[in-house]
Chain A
Amino acid sequence: MALLKSSKIISTVWVHPPLGVRSIRASSWWSEVQMGPPDPILGVSEAYKRDTNPKKMNLGVGAYRDDQGKPYVLSCVRKAEAQIAAKKLDKEYLAIGGLGDFTKACAKLALGDNNEVIESGRNITVQTISGTGSLRIGANFLSRFHTEARDVYLPKPSWGNHTPIFRDAGMQLKAYTYYDPKTCGFDFQGALNDISKIPEKSVIMLHACAHNPTGVDPRPEQWKEIANLVKKRNLLVFFDMAYQGFASGDIDRDAWAVRYFIEQGHNIVLSQSFAKNMGLYGERVGGFTVVCKDAEEAKRVESQLKILIRPIYSNPPMNGARIAATILNTPDLYKEWLGEVHGMANRIITMRELLVANLKKEGSTQNWQHVIDQIGMFCFTGLKPEQVARLTKEFSVYMTKDGRISMAGVTSGNVGYLAQGIHAVTK
């Protein structure tokens, strides 16, 4: 039985149908459908694949790689999978809001043990299709129920997919200053200035840690001022936390901003992803939380979230949530997980240090401190588009035009070569 691979559908020659049928074939419903523009990040990976240079590097990929450049399946994940397999569970539909063992643990991970919000039952946390699914449910929820304001303020820049998600949900996108290209750091004053002008009740998106794409995070004192200002402006805070644990290596430290805001009385909405910190990318594990006034309101909000979810996919997939729940709820697996997350974050931090050391060794006189100061998977190198183009053409180093590199694609084996290339295009 010959299998038709999807790629063959688009590349094989069109076979002419019998004459009698041709008249029906004349027109198509889809003649006016334009070819969609290629995804900028996928395009990078496609080009990388075609390159025959043995020294090529893919620094576009937003997925962790080990020091051999291979995908890394966490040991605690394998153990959890073995435990689950032994249980011989059924495959009955989950509730619309997902696996209870997962959602409870998910909220606890973000908000901390003994958090007042969880104890009083004033949060509703639903299982979502990873971070994207969570943002989308959140956007739909705000679009339907947050009728006082239509605007969502994103940091400049933000994850490329934030804008189309909110737009498709019917919200309007605006921006506040965030990244300072001069310092490759946080433009704190610029951010405060812009935030102070945001109209009341607007939604403000904050990256909880490991800002994507810049890797630039506010310091705690800066977070405190932002929290204060946001409260003064009466803004609705939407936290996107896709890298808890992955940024500093410490899950509590990475959730500090989220917990601080809640402590200060902000009833936030929060998206969480377990794609990176548990390496569960393709299993699509995420959570969406609304911190409400009280338990009664949480029940009402929950009922409406279910109404939003049902016509999209009915109920979420079990496999990844079951793995995550097992890890989060089994003490020795949890401990092992913390160690592995710490390990991944540490490798990234080490690569940052090695890259800077190698650049210095190459003789670069540029200031590369930001490579070490930035945090998380991504680094905004400060490279200009022309320099990026050269780096790709002459060294086969693939990255996005904005100068962003995924540190996860850097290994002790290729960091020297990368430094050579970056130095060559920036000296």
Chain B
Amino acid sequence: MSLFGEVPQAIPVAVFKLSNDFKDDPNPMKVNLGVGAYRTDEGQPWVLPVVKKVEKIIVADNSLNHEYLPILGLPEFRSSASKIALGEDSPAIQENRVGAVQCLGGTGALKMGAEFLRRWYNGNDNMKTPVYVSAPTWENHNSVFANAGFEDVRPYKYWDAEKRGLDLAGFLGDLETAPKHSIFVLHACAHNPTGTDPTHVEWMQVAEVMKRRKLFVFFDSAYQGFASGCLDKDAWAVRYFVTQGFEMFCAQSFSKNFGLYNERVGNLTIVARDADNVRRVLSQMEKIVRVTWSNPPSQGARLVAITLNTAELFAEWKDNVKTMADRVLSMRASLQAKLQALGTPGTWGHITQQIGMFSFTGLNPKQVEYMIKERSIYLMASGRINMCGLTTKNIDYVAKSIHETVVNVQ
């Protein structure tokens, strides 16, 4: 008789199962368009040249050790990371009303923010505050907030499947009818999974409703720099909201734009009314960190801090980021061109209109199944593909496969 006799087998996380299935597939033509990690044109992971450089610096520096970081993380990482999101000359930074918590990746930053909000926002330990996530969204958003205790995690309209673009009216409508003080998780740029971002004008409309209706702004910024190739451009929405006077959270990930996936480098940036509020918020964040992981891992944060705080390395990093973004953009252009040349039924403009790592192809579940089973091309059931999985060598095969799928499977 075991204490765990009743523990059921859990369904595996879809995106990881996809990768496992891909690994086991013997077909030499197989293509993995699943997990969101950058790949070179050779289909290989890419350790950024600047990262290699900084790693050497760290290894050579005998004054460095493996001592505990402070609970909130490496100070020079936290401040420079927040600067990346908000801009060097951000009024909020100049007014000393920005705080930060180094966290384990973007997930960790969302987690800390969610835990804090559940304890301290809209009352104390209020599990009933609605949390809105986009329809669709990164699937882990739901779990992060639910596990932090929020009982009411709901979708807000976002993706218009018919027109393959933003459902602005639906989005604004949900903002108008959401209960006051509801929390909204906004994708700062390169929306995952759709790749569809609001325009500046559309963001301004969103901000207007959120301010009027006192809704809480929680940005998820996992792709800054990766979307357009320009850090400032990709942070436009976050910075605009700051100028509008919002108190807000921004969960930052350095997994993609630094290629530091497995070092778990993230930052929760907090913008508040004033320094005193920041101070109290951070003191409570410390309590939450202490019962979750005590203090964050040092390697990745050190690496990012050195890079961001050294002029030549910072410039090199921005260049590396542009390299990645440019390759994605060229794959988008190429895929669209090939589908159009093949005369594939349907419209394919969305491939170049969408931005970032992902594209919502519009393929339905049956078509996705066909792609996987018949063509060994692995993508999410939602039709989401990772553009980074495309290379000049496999793009013809993928384009032809999409064509064949759309023609034969409805």
Contacts and interface: CB of A to CB of B under 8 A. Distances in A.
Interface of A: 1, 3-10, 12, 14-15, 17, 21, 24-25, 27-36, 39, 42, 63, 71, 73, 77, 81-82, 85, 88, 90-96, 129-133, 136, 145-146, 148, 161, 164-165, 168, 201, 236, 267, 275, 279-284, 290, 292-293, 297, 299-301, 303-304, 306-307, 310-320
Interface string B327-357: 0000000000000000000000000000000
A133 B105 contact: no
15 contacts: A4-B82, A5-B75, A17-B95, A21-B245, A36-B280, A71-B67, A73-B65, A85-B55, A136-B293, A290-B4, A293-B5, A297-B5, A306-B10, A318-B262, A320-B66
Contacts, number: 266
Q: Which 3 A-B pairs have the closest CB atoms?
A: A313-B104, A36-B283, A282-B298
A338 to B, nearest CB: 19
B264 interface: yes
B245 A6 contact: no
B364 interface: no
Nearest to B270: A30
A336 to B, nearest CB: 17
A317 B299 contact: yes
Contacts of A94: 262
B293 A3 contact: no
Interface string B275-296: 1111111111011001111111
A136 B291 contact: yes
B108 A312 contact: yes
B34 to A, nearest CB: 12
Contact of A301 (B4, B51, B80): B4
B286 A36 contact: yes
Contacts of A145: 4, 6-7
A24 B144 CA distance: 31
A307 B274 contact: no
B216 A29 contact: yes
B294 A132 contact: yes
Q: Give the size range of B's interface with the partner.
A: 35 or more
Nearest to A26: B273
B205 interface: no
B95 A15 contact: yes
A283 B96 contact: no
B315 to A, nearest CB: 11
A30 B273 CA distance: 9
A4 B93 contact: yes
A79 B146 CA distance: 43
B107 A313 contact: yes
Interface string B84-103: 00001000011111111001
A129 B261 contact: no
A307 B56 CA distance: 36
A81 B66 CA distance: 12
